A and B are shown apart, each in its own frame.
Chain A
Amino acid sequence: MPKPLQRVIGFMILLATVGQVSCQALLAQAPVLIG
Chain B
Amino acid sequence: MVTVKRYDPDAKQPILWRGWLLYLLSFPLLPAALFALQDGFQVIALARGVGFGLAIAAATLIRKGIRLDNEAIRRNLRRRASTVRYRAVGAGLLSLGMFLVAWLGLHTGYGLPGSVMLGLAVLLGCYLYYDFDGIGRKDPEIAAVGITTEELVELLDEAEGRIVAIENASRDIPNVEFRDRLRRIATEARAILETIERDPVDARRARKFLKVYLDGARQVTEGYARTHRGPEAPVLEDNFRRVLGTIETVIAEQQEKLRENNVLDLDVKIEVLQMQLENEGVT
Which residue of the partner chain, among A9, A23, A32, contacts B128 with CB atoms under 8 Å? Answer: A9
Question: Within A8-35, which residues are at the interface with B (CB < 8 Å)?
Answer: 9-19, 21-26, 28-29, 32-33
Given contacts A18-B55, A23-B28, contact A13 B130 (CB under 8 A): no
Q: Using a Cβ–Cβ cut-off of 8 Å, how many residues does chain B contribute to the interface with A?
A: 34
Which residues of A pack against B, CB within 8 Å? 6-7, 9-19, 21-26, 28-29, 32-33
Ordered by A's residue number, 5 sampled pairs between the chains whose C-beta atoms are within 8 Å are A18-B25, A18-B125, A21-B51, A22-B28, A26-B29
What's the minimum C-beta distance from B67 to chain A, rounded to whole angstroms? 18
Per the bound structure, the CA–CA distance linking A13 and B102 in Å amounts to 15
Is the CB–CB distance between B108 and A18 below 8 Å?
A: no
Which residue of the partner chain, among B25, B36, B122, B124, contacts A29 with CB atoms under 8 Å? Answer: B36
Is the CB–CB distance between A13 and B124 below 8 Å?
A: yes
Chain B residues in 8 Å Cβ range of A23: 28
What's the minimum C-beta distance from A18 to chain B, rounded to whole angstroms? 4
For the complex, is B258 an interface residue (Cβ under 8 Å from A)?
Answer: no
For the complex, is B105 an interface residue (Cβ under 8 Å from A)?
Answer: yes
Per the bound structure, the CA–CA distance linking A18 and B180 in Å amounts to 60
Q: Report B31-58 CB contacts with A as 1/0, cut-off 8 Å.
A: 1110110010000000010010001000
Chain A residues in 8 Å Cβ range of B51: 21-22
What's the minimum C-beta distance from B44 to chain A, rounded to whole angstroms? 8
What's the minimum C-beta distance from A10 to chain B, rounded to whole angstroms? 3
Per the bound structure, the CA–CA distance linking A18 and B39 in Å amounts to 23
What's the minimum C-beta distance from B111 to chain A, rounded to whole angstroms? 14
Is the CB–CB distance between A25 and B25 below 8 Å?
A: no
Which residue of the partner chain, among A6, A12, A14, A25, contacts B122 with CB atoms under 8 Å? Answer: A14
Which chain A residue shows the least CB distance to B100? A21
Is the CB–CB distance between A21 and B102 below 8 Å?
A: yes
